[in-house]
Amino acid sequence: MNRNGRFWRSSDGGRKSPAGSSNAGNENGSGTSGLSAVLDETLDNIRNELGNSPDLKIRHVLLPGMVPVKAAAVHFSELANSDSVNQFVIGSLLEVSVDNFRDGKGGSTNLPDYILNRALEIGQASRMEVWNDALLALLSGETLILLDGYSAVISCETTGGEWRAVGEPSSQLVVRGPKDSFVESVATNVSLIRRRIKSSKLRLEYMKIGSVTQTYVALMYIQDTVDDKLLAEVKLRLNRIKIDAVLESGYIEELIQDKTFTPFPTIYNTERPDSAVANLLEGRVVLIVDGTPFILVLPAVFTQFFQSSDDYAQRFDISLLMRIIRYISFIVLMLGPAVYIALTTYHYEMIPTTLLISLLAQRENVPFPAFVEALLMEGAIEILREAGVRMPRAVGQTVSVVGALILGQAVVEAGIITPVMVIVVALTGIASFAIPAYNMSIAGRLIRFVFLFLAGMFGFFGITLGMIVLVAHMNSLRSFGIPYLSPIVPPSLKSRKDTILRLPLWAKGASKSRHTTRVSVPSGKKITSGHEENLSPKIPEEHAETTGPMEGRDQHE
Amino acid sequence: MNKGSVKIGLFEIFTLTLLFELGTALVVNLGMESGKDAWLSILIGDCIGLFVFVGYAFLYRRYPKLSLTGYTRKLLGKYIGAVVAVLYVILFMNLAGRDLRDGSTMLVMATMHRTPLFIISVLMILSCAYVLHKGVEVLARTSLIFGVIVLSIGIFCTILLVLSGSIDINHLLPMLENGIQPVLSSVVHQNFMFPFGEMISFTMLMPYLSNRKKGPWVIGATMFLSGLLLSFTMALNISVLGADIAKRSPLPLMPTISKISISDFIQRVDILVVMVLIIGVFFKMAVFFAAALVGLSELFNLPYRKMVYPVSLIILFTSMLDARSFTEHLQEGGKLLYTVYPVFMLLFPAILILLSFIRGHRSPPRSG
């Protein structure tokens, strides 16, 4: 529950047990105390602490010699890889002779050190003295070697268990480009990134978040490319998190983002390693959370959510067109029904006369005003979409047939909705899928309803004012100190070549701009406050201890 | 407000000035007192306005970290200065209120015939308050995007007007039909104050400029450019409609734009003018609003954000109560333009410049 429950280690050595940590505070009986030197007592303590769990396996070994020493190897059968436990831990133990140690051949004065240095045939092992560290190591799938008469234990890296294999991404598809996707295991995800950047500058740091779940969070960045202020701020915000459980990267996202009350995502997430790598090369920080294939990329600006990694695999001309189409579809998604309502209710003089006549002829049989019509249809399409996400695969056909029939034809024939409204609503529905980032299209869907109301009540006046407020709101957003509309406002011509549009790689400087532009925090800005001075950053400095937003979550869990 | 953190860049001040100047002036029949030579009187007004602005820029150069109310108190002394500063705050609120009334009434006239004036004003002032609650920096950045939108609407409409062949240059001829006198009288009555003299409100925002050297130059250049644009628009109105109709129409740009018709497909794009009107009124009012807020928070040492909603309430009621009808409102505005406003926009700044000269010479000699 406190800061000690987490630790920082700059390790390039991959996944490792918390050897370097001072202690792991977990307010129960034994706490941070040392381990007992009596083997049976320690084993009893472990059993009691874990509630006599049946998957806790204890293997007793007798180390032979003039004065034999009793030893035990403890591991969880479901978490550890039984092959490596049997072969390397227990196998090595059986070959240890206490006499060799007594002879001084091992060069150690201490039996645990001797075993660690001379006997174990395993890649990673460390010595532990503190109860909580040992327990955490055990719960992470490592094997503990306990020796009678010594209070130190040896923890061996035997983590195993089942993970999903690397597969194709399910939410961010491309036509051309790598087909691998992140998985739930943080180790695999790190390897997917490391394989793509063979640079010594690539840095990896681990930390654990969640006082109960102790979830591994890996922080990756490229030294010298990343802004130091950004990095320090990310670490600071991660350290401030107080939460019991982290089950998805969304938890972390919500707790470290700059501002709470906005529909717009200010942290990018992806399940594509190539996208993560491209962002790393641009100087961004990547957070990988154990247990989810969705990694976080920060800071994120608005235009980033309209980029897809196959923009860079295709020729620039078609990519340019596709990007423009994505922006247009976002506008259609937000404003489509609103503009239609405004036109038909307030400003019908703008519609060409012949079209207006046919529109009015359609409307003749419909009892509702256009606003109610749009609200009904938009509501229906949201229901359909939600049903489509949740429904079991087997009934998928039914939903799509019923949905298409009801929404497409029956409503029109029954005289509830005009056909044009069906077209408009269908268009916004399709447009929402044209945006590569799902969380950005959610934002658009929410904002669409606001504009619907504004247009229904005030026509184009409402829409224009809504647009001004929306743009002002987006201008007030910051993602880790970077203005959200960054390359557009405040304008920076250099980075605009790639972020908004996609210019060919041979265009002057474009080849650089994709991969070496630093995301730099504007000088003179405090990153901590989201923007100027009104914003309460997600975690205020001192008051957070009592009334932080995490408090509610704690109770919720 | 914390001056260290708020910064307005050059692009942003460019678009903010542009939107402020175009604001309502783009849509109304500006300088129509001089008939078909309205465009000329706008240009002359622009030049006078630039000259006046040089004075403001001089004061800014002298006190780059202070706003108008700041150096007023410095130069006029604690008490007189405070009184004058309060008067300026009232002026800015009044200007914002008048602008709100202008905008709302024009909207009612143009499209929202059956929506109550009050509702439109409330919506407008609320969104303005929201934006200013986010800060002056956000306002300036937002203006960048809408400045681009307004400019592209302008270019689009001009091209369409040219293509649909409704422009008749002969409507502008002969120049100076009745001599120079009507032009000059229009300049004196209207054009040298509206919209160029209103740049006084920028003296409250200039301390936030990120580039102290180029900032005033950019503002000046933008003033000149927007004068050209206004004059061009007025000439366009007259050449399409003829001086007679343009003079009688309260919003001559609307009938002008509605002349656009391209093969019966693109027609009646006057909603674009309404959009320009809304954007212009919004930013103009927001600048006055911001100027009043900055002045208030400096004078009384109050946090800027706490003042947003009370001040918006004051502006709303000023706009609603200032006249019983739009005609009265215009009448009143016309009088204010050459009686009250020059005192604030010319006289006080002139006194301040004089005082700062005297101070500058009488101040103790610098070492070395």
At residue A512, the pLDDT reads 46
N residues, chain B:
368
Is A352 close to B278, i.e. CB distance below 8 A? no
Using the structure block, give the residue that is written with the tokens 């009370």.
Answer: B310
Report the b/e string of A197-218 with b at 16+ CB within 10 A.
Answer: eeeeebbbbbbbbbbebbbbbb
Tokens found for residue A186: 């943080």
The answer to whether A253 and A296 have CB atoms below 8 angstroms apart is yes
The answer to whether B293 and B93 have CB atoms below 8 angstroms apart is no
**Residue A392 located in a structural domain:** yes
Is B141 close to A473, i.e. CB distance below 8 A? no
**Residue A314 located in a structural domain:** no
What is the β-pairing status of strands A125-128 and A56-63? unpaired
Closest chain B residue to the Cα of A478, Cα to Cα: B138
Q: What is the mean pLDDT of residues A252-276?
A: 88
CATH class of B10-351: mainly alpha
At residue B195, the pLDDT reads 80
- Domain end (from A113, A140, A156): A156
- Closest-CA distance of chain B to residue A261, Å: 13
Per-position DSSP letters for A48-95, written without gaps between them: HHTTS-TTEEEEEEEE-SSS-EEEEEEEETTTB-HHHIIIIIIHHHHH
Encoded amino acid at A378, one letter: E
Of A142, A188, A190, the closest CA to residue A164 belongs to: A188
Of A453, A446, A450, the closest CA to residue A345 belongs to: A453
Of A413, A405, A417, the closest CA to residue A337 belongs to: A417
pLDDT band at A505 (very low <50, low <70, confident <90, very high): low
| B117 in A contact zone (CB under 8 Å) | no
Chain centroid to CA A427: 30
**Predicted confidence (pLDDT) at residue A365 exceeds the cutoff of 50:** yes
The answer on A494 and A365 residing in a single domain is yes
| B275 in A contact zone (CB under 8 Å) | yes
CA dist A407 and A426 (Å) reads 9
ipTM (interface predicted TM):
0.92
**Residue A245 located in a structural domain:** yes
**Predicted confidence (pLDDT) at residue A543 exceeds the cutoff of 60:** no
CB neighbours of B112 closer than 8 A, spacing ≥ 6? A346, A458, A459, A461, B120
N residues, chain A:
557
| B349 in A contact zone (CB under 8 Å) | no
| A536 in B contact zone (CB under 8 Å) | no
**Residue A223 located in a structural domain:** yes
CA dist A257 and A266 (Å) reads 7
Largest CA distance in chain B: 76
| B262 in A contact zone (CB under 8 Å) | no
Q: Where are the beta strands (DSSP E) in A176-254?
A: 202-209, 215-222
First-to-final CA distance of chain B = 36
CA dist A468 and A329 (Å) reads 19
The answer to whether A168 and A67 have CB atoms below 8 angstroms apart is no
CA dist B135 and B205 (Å) reads 12
Per-position DSSP letters for A89-129, written without gaps between them: IIHHHHH--HHHHHTTTT--SSHHHHIIIII--SS-EEEE-
| B79 in A contact zone (CB under 8 Å) | no
At residue A264, the pLDDT reads 92
**Residue A321 located in a structural domain:** no
Report the b/e string of A485-497 with b at 16+ CB within 10 A.
Answer: bbbbbbbeeebbb
pLDDT band at A6 (very low <50, low <70, confident <90, very high): very low
Using the structure block, give the residue that is written with the tokens 């609503």.
Answer: A425
At residue A497, the pLDDT reads 55
State the Rg of chain A over Cα.
29
Q: Phi/psi class of residue A283: alpha, beta or left (left: φ > 0; alpha: ψ in -120 to 50)?
A: left
Q: Count residue pairs from A and B with Cβ separation < 8 A.
A: 112
The answer on A538 and A488 residing in a single domain is no
Ranking A274-283, A476-485, A539-548, B48-57 by mean pLDDT, the lowest is: A539-548
A8 versus A285: the higher-pLDDT residue is: A285
Of B103, B273, B220, B217, the closest CA to residue A350 belongs to: B273
Q: Average pLDDT over chain B, rounded to whole?
A: 86
Q: Phi/psi class of residue B191: alpha, beta or left (left: φ > 0; alpha: ψ in -120 to 50)?
A: alpha
Helices marked H in chain B: 10-22, 38-62, 68-76, 78-110, 117-134, 136-164, 181-186, 202-205, 215-241, 243-248, 253-258, 270-300, 304-321, 326-339, 341-342, 348-362
Is A465 close to B12, i.e. CB distance below 8 A? no
**Prediction pTM value:** 0.84
For residue A450, which residues of chain B lie inside 8 Å, CB to CB? none
Tokens found for residue B117: 């004036």
The answer to whether B134 and A476 have CB atoms below 8 angstroms apart is yes
pLDDT band at B306 (very low <50, low <70, confident <90, very high): confident
Burial class (CB in 10 A: 0-12, 13-18, 19+), A224: exposed
Tell me the per-residue pLDDT of B204-248, one tens digit each, with 9 for 90 and over: 988 888 888 888 999 999 999 999 999 999 888 889 888 888 888
Tokens found for residue B339: 């009686």
**Residue A162 located in a structural domain:** no
Q: From the CB of residue A453, how many other CB atoms can be counted at a distance below 10 Å?
A: 15
Q: Which of A459, A485, A489 sits opposite B112 (nearest CB)?
A: A459
Tell me the per-residue pLDDT of A84-116, one tens digit each, with 9 for 90 and over: 888 888 888 888 777 776 666 656 667 788 888
Ranking A103-112, A142-151, A349-358, B278-287 by mean pLDDT, the lowest is: A103-112
At residue B362, the pLDDT reads 63
**Predicted confidence (pLDDT) at residue A205 exceeds the cutoff of 80:** yes
The residues pairing with A118 across neighbouring beta strands, listed in sequence order, are none
Q: Phi/psi class of residue B264: alpha, beta or left (left: φ > 0; alpha: ψ in -120 to 50)?
A: left
At residue A464, the pLDDT reads 92
Q: Average pLDDT over chain A, rounded to whole?
A: 78
| A232 in B contact zone (CB under 8 Å) | no
pLDDT band at A17 (very low <50, low <70, confident <90, very high): very low
CB neighbours of B178 closer than 8 A, spacing ≥ 6? B35
3-state SS, residue B115: coil
Helices marked H in A282-418: 316-345, 353-363, 370-390, 396-404, 411-413
CA dist A79 and A163 (Å) reads 11
Q: From the CB of residue A501, how many other CB atoms can be counted at a distance below 10 Å?
A: 14
pLDDT band at A466 (very low <50, low <70, confident <90, very high): very high
Q: Which of A461, A466, A490 sits opposite B120 (nearest CB)?
A: A461
Q: Which of B4, B123, B268 sits opposite A465 (nearest CB)?
A: B123
Encoded amino acid at A226, one letter: V
A58 φ, ψ (degrees, to nearest 5)? -120, 125
The answer on A353 and A296 residing in a single domain is no
CA dist B350 and B345 (Å) reads 9
Per-position DSSP letters for A169-181, written without gaps between them: -SSS--SSS----
For residue A473, which residues of chain B lie inside 8 Å, CB to CB? 130, 134
**Predicted confidence (pLDDT) at residue A553 exceeds the cutoff of 60:** no
The residues pairing with A144 across neighbouring beta strands, listed in sequence order, are A74, A155
CA dist B287 and B139 (Å) reads 9
For residue A478, which residues of chain B lie inside 8 Å, CB to CB? none
Tokens found for residue B279: 């954007």
| B138 in A contact zone (CB under 8 Å) | yes
The answer on A347 and A465 residing in a single domain is yes
Using the structure block, give the residue that is written with the tokens 């596709």.
Answer: A322
CA dist A388 and A396 (Å) reads 7
Is B144 close to A489, i.e. CB distance below 8 A? yes
The answer on A374 and A237 residing in a single domain is no
The answer on A429 and A348 residing in a single domain is yes
Closest chain B residue to the Cα of A454, Cα to Cα: B123
pLDDT band at A494 (very low <50, low <70, confident <90, very high): low
Chain A residues 322-381 within an 8 A CB cutoff of chain B = 346-347, 349-350, 352-353
| B279 in A contact zone (CB under 8 Å) | yes
A329 versus A537: the higher-pLDDT residue is: A329
The answer on A252 and A347 residing in a single domain is no
| A460 in B contact zone (CB under 8 Å) | yes
To the nearest whole percent, how much of chain B has pLDDT over 70?
96
Encoded amino acid at A77, one letter: S
**Residue A504 located in a structural domain:** no
Tell me the per-residue pLDDT of A400-457, one tens digit each, with 9 for 90 and over: 777 777 777 888 888 888 888 888 988 998 998 899 888 899 999 999 999 999 999 8
Tokens found for residue B27: 């849509």
CB neighbours of B168 closer than 8 A, spacing ≥ 6? B239, B240, B242
Q: Is the peptide bond before B195 cis (omega within 30 degrees of 0)?
A: yes
CA dist B141 → A469, A483, B150, B220 (Å): 12, 10, 15, 19
First-to-final CA distance of chain A = 14
Give the residue numbers spanning the domain of A399: 327-499
CA dist A258 and B44 (Å) reads 49
At residue A132, the pLDDT reads 83
CA dist B251 and B270 (Å) reads 11
At residue A315, the pLDDT reads 84
Tokens found for residue A252: 């972390």
CA dist A482 and A266 (Å) reads 10
Ranking A85-99, A255-269, A363-377 by mean pLDDT, the lowest is: A85-99
Largest CA distance in chain A: 107
Tokens found for residue A168: 């194709």
The answer on A239 and A364 residing in a single domain is no
Tell me the per-residue pLDDT of A514-530, one tens digit each, with 9 for 90 and over: 444 455 555 444 444 33
Q: Is the peptide bond before A112 cis (omega within 30 degrees of 0)?
A: no
The answer on A456 and A340 residing in a single domain is yes
**Predicted confidence (pLDDT) at residue A370 exceeds the cutoff of 50:** yes
B153 versus B263: the higher-pLDDT residue is: B153
The answer to whether B168 and B22 have CB atoms below 8 angstroms apart is no
Q: How many domains does chain A have?
A: 3
Tell me the per-residue pLDDT of A123-180, one tens digit each, with 9 for 90 and over: 788 888 888 888 888 888 888 888 888 888 888 888 877 778 888 888 888 888 888 9
pLDDT band at A326 (very low <50, low <70, confident <90, very high): very high
